[in-house]
Chains A and B, each alone.
Chain A
């Protein structure tokens, strides 16, 4: 399993870097799809099949297709015409980015905090009927309030989008 992690983690990182490095927006979007798929595989390695499937259906399958759709429709293909508005952006970004990386490296190498295991082991989950069943049961018991609030938020967002898109109904 450890070996599989690297097989997936390296492409995931490389494609994530590619998303910001690419000139052509279409290639950026495609690399983001690759990245999302790689993350889905990481979820599978963590025995979270449901989250992996949802990740692919929702993010890679639906949202990114819409992204691509818009990029292609508006012909945003090549971004070389864009002028940088902040002249000092690059060196400053390098400076702060580098500082952040060093800081993170130091903290991660010095830390004494151990990862906290959840209440359920993969064996427990299997005994309770499987990943999907356990997530479903938790969503509709312990996390019911959060779940319902999220659905109301989404509903508000949908209504807002319809109102904004169709001013004269």
Chain B
């Protein structure tokens, strides 16, 4: 036992990573189920209710179906990149969850275990860095498919994601200034007395709008506008490779919700329930918001989308930073 003790921290990290990935993939499956059920209700339909009680086994059925689909590689595809692109879009999505704290330290079998994989000094920047790497998955998928629809979808998405990364990054600066840190763990601690949504309402508003655009969800789902681009960048993908893009989208949605919760809604903090439950409830509320938006709002036109990002959101986020700085100096 004594000999093995240096291995324990490594073992803990490996187990935690495994649990995190498993949880994310499960959350993805049930986010899809919730989306289909909730949207069906909103549109006066019933939604999937055949597989298991309330259709709860539907994700399992979908997974089997997707795995058994035929793999098709288009004739004009640039094969190595065509095969790489789905992984390039999924892996950053999974990795960015590593810094999200879902609770304070707990003790299991005498070992102190933190409920996050890493407390980085540059936590928020790490998430944004991975988000910007994730763009490559979409760009490469569109380019390597050898199809006009895919390519147009990819071009749109890269322009859109680049444009909305700016307001997304700047909108959180106000909260970061108040907390004086980039570490997500310390950001949660800084909100012990007041959630930052109360101090940074404008910052939060800009953040959530940009976040919807950044994860390519309706009403900003231009990259896969089915009425004009078939399915955008993943038109030519089939089977499990297609499922990877789907997973990336939903896991990105979960990560963005987690960041919103951590930066503006006090993270895992809350009365009565255990911290992890609070974290889960808050993220679930955000997922519901994303679904609600999709069921409610029509898609924007592309030029309007770009104008909105550059001419409204970006200046507003700069104003928010200056105002926050001014108030902080004024209050000492």
Q: Using a CB–CB distance below 8 Å, which chain A residues touch chain B?
A: 26, 30, 33, 37, 49-50, 52-54, 56-57, 60-62, 65-66, 68-69, 72-73, 130-132
Contacts and interface: CB of A to CB of B under 8 A. Distances in A.
A61 B158 contact: no
A130 B186 CA distance: 12
A62 B162 contact: yes
B51 interface: no
A130 B122 CA distance: 9
A66 B128 contact: no
28 contacts: A26-B81, A49-B120, A49-B121, A50-B121, A53-B122, A53-B128, A54-B125, A56-B129, A57-B128, A57-B129, A57-B132, A60-B129, A60-B133, A65-B139, A65-B162, A68-B136, A68-B158, A69-B139, A69-B155, A69-B159, A72-B151, A72-B154, A72-B155, A130-B121, A130-B183, A131-B121, A132-B122, A132-B182
A91 B88 CA distance: 39
Contacts of A65: 132, 135-136, 139, 158, 162
B126 interface: yes
Contacts of A69: 139, 155, 158-159
B139 A56 contact: no
Contacts, number: 70
A62 B125 CA distance: 14
Contacts of B151: 72
| Residues of B contacting A: mostly | helix
Interface in B210-252: none
Interface string B109-121: 0000000000011
Contacts of A30: 81, 140
Contacts of A50: 121-122, 125
Nearest to B135: A65
A70 to B, nearest CB: 11
A62 B136 CA distance: 10
A56 B133 contact: yes
Contact of B132 (A61, A72, A73, A131): A61
A65 B165 CA distance: 12
A123 to B, nearest CB: 14
Contacts of A56: 129-130, 132-133
A69 B128 CA distance: 20
Contacts of A37: 133
B129 A49 contact: no
B166 to A, nearest CB: 9
A72 B154 CA distance: 10
Contacts of A72: 139, 143, 151, 154-155
A142 B136 CA distance: 38
A56 B130 CA distance: 8
A140 to B, nearest CB: 13
A23 B137 CA distance: 22
A65 B169 CA distance: 17
B155 A73 contact: yes
A130 to B, nearest CB: 4
Contacts of B129: 53, 56-57, 60-61
Interface string B181-195: 111000000000000
B132 to A, nearest CB: 3
Contacts of B182: 132
